[in-house]
Amino acid sequence: MSATLIKGSEISKQIKEELKLEITELKKKYNVIPGLATILVGEDEASKVYVGAKEKACKELGIYSERINLPGDTKEGDLLALIERLNKDDRIHGILVQLPLPRHINKTNVLYAIDPKKDVDGFHPVNIGKLMLGEPDFLPCTPHGIQELLIRSGIETDGAEVVVVGRSNIVGKPIANMLLQKKKGANATVTICHTGTKDLASHTKRADILIVAAGRPKAITADMVKDGVVVIDVGVNRLETGLVGDVDFDGVKEKAKAITPVPGGVGPMTIVMLMKNTVQSAKMHAGIV
């Protein structure tokens, strides 16, 4: 078997078109323009690329965007004061502080300072708590993108054995929580594997849907999956040979029913879900939802 490709690059375009229509209508009917502020502290090259892509997506969709670049030696207090200003700014419905932050800044203090109603990353503890309770305002962007990929590719999650490799706060823990909710596009039996897992392959071989966010190239090889598995590769590893995921794509695609490529799989979905959250926030602030 050679797998069908789950093309996030195409599915994300479709969602962008839906969002464009929604944004045009918001402006026409309610005079509301969604606004996103992105904050980048320091000179991390990958972060610059990510923030640039987010800004570009805003422009493309008609979302007002404010990009704030701060020097790497910015004091934590100054960053917190900026967030406080943006919390009060009516043009801004979403505030995103790009991670990682320089070491002298306490990430927790910064993420807690963002108004949960403007936390379009879904990283604030209030939003993480609401997600666990199944009543989210904002779903974190990468897990939300993964769920949309599954739904829009017609992959049944109801009763499926889902195995998540990786327990990060950004991907592993939230996607596991989302897929175990008793909801459409969820209701799965979920296992989370991590660096403390004893026999990783014994778990991954059981998966109907395998979600890999391990942060390591070739963490999953063909001998670790069953025939007909659906594989979502969240990895982004920059090697000399180019960008690769966490899954040995060439080997695993021969056994999988469907698989996301890297690049062009989960990555483009993350950005579009950020746009979706910003639109949703603008609607919430205007009392439209």
Dihedral angle of Cα 152, 171, 201, 221, to the nearest 10 degrees: 70
Catalytic residue (choose from 98, 147, 181, 280): 98
C-alpha 98 chain-centroid distance: 13
The reply to whether 219 sits near ligand GUN by the rule CB under 6 A is no
Of 19, 40, 96, 188, the one binding ligand GUN (CB under 6 A) is 96
Q: Is 98 a catalytic residue?
A: yes
Q: What is residue 29's DSSP assignment?
A: H
Q: How far is the CB of 121 from ligand GUN (least distance, A)?
A: 5
| Residue 134 backbone zone (phi > 0: left; psi -120 to 50: alpha; other: beta) | left
- Per CB under 6 A, 12 contacts ligand GUN: no
Nearest-angstrom CA–CA distance, 163 and 200? 10
d(CA 169, CA 85) in angstroms, rounded, equals 27
Position closest to ligand GUN via CB: 99
121 binds ligand GUN (CB under 6 A): yes
- 98 interacts with ligand GUN by CB under 6 A: yes
Among 5, 99, 126, 286, binds ligand GUN (CB under 6 A): 99
Q: Which two tokens stand for residue 88?
A: 């009060």
Identify each DSSP E strand in the chain by its residue range. 4-5, 35-41, 64-70, 94-97, 161-165, 189-193, 209-212, 230-233, 237-239, 242-244, 258-259
Annotated catalytic residue 121: yes
Contacts of 205 (CB under 8 A, 6+ apart): 224, 225, 226
| 163-202 footprint of ligand GUN as x/- string (CB under 6 A) | -------x--------------------------------
Instruction: Choose the binding region for ligand GUN from 3-11, 97-105, 253-261, 278-286 (rule: CB under 6 A).
Output: 97-105
User: Interaction with ligand GUN in 133-162: which residues (CB under 6 A)?
Assistant: 141-142
Query: Annotated catalytic residue: which of 118, 119, 121, 276?
Result: 121
| Residue 49 Cα distances to 84, 206, 239, 259, 260, angstroms | 26, 37, 17, 25, 21
> Could you confirm whether 54 is annotated as catalytic?
yes
- Supply the minimum distance, in Å, between the C-beta of residue 99 and ligand GUN: 4
Q: What residues are labeled active site?
A: 54, 98, 121
Instruction: Tell me which residues touch ligand GUN (CB under 6 A).
Output: 96-99, 121, 141-142, 170
